Amino acid sequence: MGRHFGIEKEYSKDEIFAVLDKLKISQEGLNVLTHYDGKLIANTQVSKIYEVFDFPTFAKEVVSEIEKYFTPEKYKLRITKGAQELRLIGEDVLINDDVYQKMFNIINSTDKSRALSLSAGLMRMVCTNGLVVGVEDEFEQVRVKHYKTKLPDKVVKFIEGLSNFDISINKQAETISNIVGKSVSFKDIIKGMAFNKDGLVTSTTSLRMRAFCKKIQSSQSDAIKGLSVEQINLLNNVHIMVSEKEKFDKEPTDIVMDAYKALNLYTEIYRNYDSTVLKRETNRIFDLLK
């Protein structure tokens, strides 16, 4: 059973609960069984220290609790084999003339594919690209593996912190606003993105760079217009140029970018990913824009 996560539905607690009631998670010995609508959709062997997390019950409790702090308008719910994700999307927040929406997200798995993740953040609705901004030491994200010694306490702490939802959202909005009007060097972003501590480029960072360069030229909302032939060549070949760090440092061509636009271009790459990935990549680009 799978649900397309790109589809938003009008918020309905009853509809969400009806779907969650079809999901049953149980454990037999060292096997975690996931049933949906009476059918077995995942059977995963686990260790003795694994803690089964009752996602349906918890999600229903959180939906009822979060309504005290913001008003969901739409939702997305995905149940695919051993993975579950619920996203609540709410009120608008205006930043730099762009519309963001408050978001609450729960991710879980019963097949060990991912840790339990609970997060709150802002999503930019232009071109539907996602953005989940991190604020240090705030409640807005919990990520914990399914271990008996860790899972319960962190979940309780997160629920207790929901009263700070608007405080966290306001800090995230301020974090975004602080880069509005700033300029950044494309080459500086690439150097921070490409090279590890040993000055080497990995296959993962190469793919990340190429995706970013493609968005700079093709984004429907934030593409940079009027690029010179040299700048286009830089974008199309940067993954090759960075093979030698010293040589790339001496490359004369650069693109001075608006920092806010750079943020949007980069996060647009991950607009269809779950919030754990969105948050990680948002933090990555923010580190390069500070």
Shared domain check, 108 and 248: no
Shared domain check, 198 and 144: no
Final residue in a domain of this structure, among 145, 177, 209 = 177
Shared domain check, 139 and 16: yes
- Please state which of the ranges 5-19, 42-56, 264-278 shows the lowest mean pLDDT: 264-278
Shared domain check, 164 and 67: yes
Nearest CA to 56 out of 30, 91, 21 is that of 21
**What is the structure's pLDDT at 137?**
47
Tell me how many helices (H) and strands (E) the chain has: 10, 11
Domain of residue 230 covers 183-289
Q: Decide if pLDDT at 84 tops 50.
A: yes
Express each pLDDT in 237-270 by its tens digit.
998 888 877 888 889 999 999 999 999 999 888 8
pTM: 0.76
Shared domain check, 111 and 195: no
Shared domain check, 119 and 73: yes
Final residue in a domain of this structure, among 177, 194, 211 = 177
Shared domain check, 85 and 40: yes
Shared domain check, 16 and 123: yes
Using alpha carbons only, what angle is made at residue 280 by residues 16 and 287, rounded to the nearest 5 degrees? 140
Final residue in a domain of this structure, among 125, 146, 177 = 177
Q: Average of pLDDT values for 107-134?
A: 75
- Two structure tokens written together for 130: 């996602």
Shared domain check, 143 and 220: no
- State how far the Cα of 186 lies from the Cα of 43, in Å rounded to an integer: 46
Higher pLDDT among residues 30 and 278, named by residue? 30
Q: Decide if pLDDT at 4 tops 50.
A: no
- β-strand partners of 143: 117
For 4, the enclosing helix (H) or strand (E) is none
Express each pLDDT in 166-201 by its tens digit.
888 888 888 899 999 999 999 999 988 887 777 778
- State how far the Cα of 145 lies from the Cα of 45, in Å rounded to an integer: 15
